[in-house]
Amino acid sequence: MTKRVTLEVSMRLVSDAVFGSGYSDAGGADIAVCKDSDGWPYLRGSAWKGLLRESMENLLAWAAADAQQRRAAEETLAAVMGESGRNCAEDARRVTLTELCLRERPSAPEDCYQTRTFTSLDRTAGTVAAGSLRSAECVCRGLTFVGEAECAVEDRDLVTQALRGIRWAGTMRSRGFGEVDCAVRERRPRSERSKAALSPGHCIRYRLKLESAALMTDLSRSLDNQYETRGYIPGSAVRGLVMGTLAAERPEWFAAHKTEILSDAVRFPDALPVRGELPPIPSVRGFYESKDKTEFVSVLTANPEEIPKKGLKRAKVGEFCALTSDDAGGYSLRYWQAPTGGATRISQERNADKSGDKDGMFQTQFLLPGQEFEGYILLDDPTLAETVGAAIPQTAHIGADRFAGFGKYTRTLLEVTDSPRWAEAYGYRDGDAISETLYMLALSPFAVRDGNGRIQGFDRDAENGSPLAQLAEKLGVESLTVEACDTSLAEYGGYNRIWGCHLPAVRMYDRGSVFKLRCGSAPSLDALRNVQAEGIGIRREDGFGQVLFLRETYFDEETGVRASQPDEAGESVETAAAAIRRTKYGWVMENAQRVIQSEMSPSQIGTLQSLCEEAARRGGVSQKIDKWFGLNESKNIRHSVRFSEIRQLTETVLETPLSRTLKLSPPLESACMDSKEERLNLLRMLFNYSRREKQDADAKETDADAKETDADAKETDAGRNIGKEGGEAC
């Protein structure tokens, strides 16, 4: 296996930089900076990778003296930085990057930014083009961002020189933004943690904590230029990670056991996001609730015809849940979902003839860092536990674009258990009474073939050779009937990197689907546990076909699940800074109409915006704003009335504490930064948003007037033509 080294990189901003996110802030800058969930700036790994590739390409091109050296340089660049459409399974020389984050954070995120305004020139008239005023948010010079780059030992010098050769980052470089100074040093290898030997067992439990954003692309919900993410780590991704590690580190062992570990004798269920120590399962379908949430019923136990009569709607149960006991002796469904974010990116792919670049913007959704996922590996042969479990690296990358800073994780738990936690928490336990009624939950998508090999769903009754008859045989019961169910269907495919082809898409019952089954006789506990351990249907090696038989008490009419509520730890906890920013945007939206209806022109609103920005840069000195209002109010009455109300609004904001202006709640008052500069920035946001809204409204009105004028002209021309024709006829 190729040895690798880690390089620590620090990037100091020599000038202001624009790390564009591809979005604009409501009421703020037209070009917004890429920020994390707490509002701090960072440079995405994909952007950093593009800078490194550009620098390395220039370095190799300058060093190549003849055609042979240029071909060797192209091969080196492809091996180290990758190339478009690369499906190769061996990536030993590929550079792996992290995000570049602040080394030292100022007292508040707002101290990292300042706003610049720009215009375009009308080349014909030689003046400022109408409606061209725009603003960009910049990261202040002097800040230092740090990150890591991992490469092969043989490429250490090349990568180091290319990193030091990066001189510009971000957008608008031709205007002087984004000059940087990069320093690189090799990190000393950390002492390896002692690897605890795993005992033989049928179930391996692990936890992975995301250190960076992760892309788990969901192709079924993605479009041509928009890629959605799954809210979990697919078992197939963990399976690929384990198999790749075994093939690289233990090739002889892998060759000897390849047939067994690539079959359904080793199964990889999906790793689900966790909340504390609650065992996560997919949210159970089939629950309905009233609008006031006083009534909460399951379609499996209630009369389906009564649900629409009572005006019940589908209950909000999130994506994942835990079934917990409540104070009244019943159960509640506590739900959550993994937090996600998004970004706009640019792809640069060369044409087929390599004559040029083809750029395209697209949006990606990703799992945010900090989330922890719990998964299992189920084994038929317990002696494989130690080797297979050790193949989950302590730190690695998983998911898509892992060479561009995405998908880095740290393994926080690895142990051998008797069974997954959800089997003991929600399934039947020793001593529980099992009746003829079973409630089967799909923990992962599943599809079953009939006796002829065709994919077929569950019929109401078990016919010979049908999927339901196969399940009845596994349970050891003579008859099996579906009394009720609540299901959804989805198509699941896959991709084989070795062969470079897509797997056939199969329509399956989606996770969370639940079935109420009636057996001819009560099955044994061992039969239920065997079905839960082995799974049902096809592609079980990828984690499909996992089911759980929920205890009947969860669906009891009196003591069953009676309510759903978001998990307290699982709710999207909004930081104080984020809540204050959201309140500012709301205040801007509420007061924008006052500015728009004041009959001030867009240029006058833009002038006021610029004065607020200048006053904020000067430490809050606002005499020029007062002088500007006084100059406009000293003119004729018709002109001065436009400014009186806006002047009163401006003075009120500047003289009132920011927390009172925004009407913040007591917990947020202490977190609200208040100064003359902060109040001026709030006014700047207001005038910037109002100016753009005013310009859009004026443009629409102008277009409407133009269309009306064209219609009148056509009508006049038509009348003239009719008159001429009439005269000739006479």
**189 and 340 Cβ atoms separated by less than 8 Å:** no
Structure tokens at 624: 């020029």
Residue with tokens 């989950």: 392
Q: Are residues 41 and 97 in the same domain?
A: yes
Mean pLDDT along residues 224-235: 85
pLDDT for residue 548: 94
Structure tokens at 312: 């019940």
Q: Are residues 155 and 69 in the same domain?
A: yes
pLDDT for residue 528: 93
Mean pLDDT along residues 304-329: 84
Q: Are residues 466 and 514 in the same domain?
A: yes
Count CB neighbours of 566 within 10 A: 16
- 3-state secondary structure string across 559-579: CCEEEEEECCCCCCCCCHHHH
Spatial separation of the C-alpha atoms in residues 345 and 455, rounded to whole Å: 39
Coil, strand or helix: which one is 432?
coil
Percent of the chain at pLDDT exceeding 70: 88
In the predicted structure, residue 327 carries a pLDDT above the cut 70: yes
Which has more pLDDT, 668 or 567? 668
Band (268; pLDDT cuts 50, 70, 90): very high
Whether 585 maps to a domain, the answer reads yes
Band (91; pLDDT cuts 50, 70, 90): low
Spatial separation of the C-alpha atoms in residues 651 and 659, rounded to whole Å: 16
pLDDT for residue 723: 46
Structure tokens at 192: 């390896």
In the predicted structure, residue 571 carries a pLDDT above the cut 60: no
Final residue of a domain: which of 161, 186, 211? 186
What residues make up the domain containing 528?
438-549
Q: Are residues 525 and 665 in the same domain?
A: no
Whether 471 maps to a domain, the answer reads yes
Whether 419 maps to a domain, the answer reads no
**607 and 624 Cβ atoms separated by less than 8 Å:** no
Coil, strand or helix: which one is 45?
helix
Cα 575 to its chain centre, rounded Å, is 18
Spatial separation of the C-alpha atoms in residues 113 and 143, rounded to whole Å: 10
Q: Are residues 492 and 615 in the same domain?
A: no
Q: Give the phi and the psi of residue 410 in degrees, each rounded to 5.
A: -125, 130
648-680 pLDDT, tens digit each: 899 999 999 998 999 888 778 877 888 888 889
Which has more pLDDT, 538 or 89? 538
461-488: b or e for each residue (b if 16 or more CB lie within 10 Å)? Answer: ebeeebbbbbbbebbebeebbbebbbee
C-alpha dihedral, 270 to 273 to 277 to 278, nearest 10°: -80
Which has more pLDDT, 146 or 581? 146
Which has more pLDDT, 426 or 306? 426
Residue 500, domain CATH? 2.60.40.4350
Q: What is the mean pLDDT of the chain?
A: 83
Mean pLDDT along residues 290-299: 84
Q: Are residues 10 and 87 in the same domain?
A: yes
Residue 14, domain CATH? 3.30.70
Burial class (CB in 10 A: 0-12, 13-18, 19+), 241: buried
Whether 16 maps to a domain, the answer reads yes
Which amino acid, residue 100? L
In the predicted structure, residue 207 carries a pLDDT above the cut 70: yes
Q: Are residues 74 and 167 in the same domain?
A: yes
579-633 pLDDT, tens digit each: 788 888 889 988 988 888 887 888 888 888 888 888 887 788 888 898 888 888 8
- The contacts of residue 426 (CB under 8 Å, 6+ apart) are 279, 281, 323, 548, 550, 551, 554
Spatial separation of the C-alpha atoms in residues 272 and 338, rounded to whole Å: 9
pLDDT for residue 443: 93
Specify the DSSP class assigned to residue 298: E
Q: Are residues 453 and 586 in the same domain?
A: no
Specify the DSSP class assigned to residue 15: S
Band (724; pLDDT cuts 50, 70, 90): very low
Q: Are residues 527 and 592 in the same domain?
A: no
pLDDT for residue 311: 83
Band (296; pLDDT cuts 50, 70, 90): confident
Mean pLDDT along residues 414-442: 91
Count CB neighbours of 291 within 10 A: 9
Q: Are residues 530 and 589 in the same domain?
A: no
Which amino acid, residue 377? I
Q: Are residues 627 and 523 in the same domain?
A: no
Predicted structure pTM score: 0.72
- Compute the chain's Rg from CA coordinates: 32
Whether 322 maps to a domain, the answer reads no
Whether 85 maps to a domain, the answer reads yes
In the predicted structure, residue 89 carries a pLDDT above the cut 70: no
Domain count, the chain: 3
Whether 717 maps to a domain, the answer reads no
pLDDT for residue 97: 87
Whether 416 maps to a domain, the answer reads no
- 181 vs 35, 167, 412, 543, 729, CA distance in Å? 21, 6, 35, 47, 84
Mean pLDDT along residues 181-201: 74
Q: Are residues 630 and 526 in the same domain?
A: no
Spatial separation of the C-alpha atoms in residues 468 and 484, rounded to whole Å: 14
Count CB neighbours of 563 within 10 A: 18
**608 and 628 Cβ atoms separated by less than 8 Å:** yes
Q: Which of 144-148, 697-701, 708-712 has the lowest mean pLDDT?
A: 708-712
In the predicted structure, residue 108 carries a pLDDT above the cut 60: yes
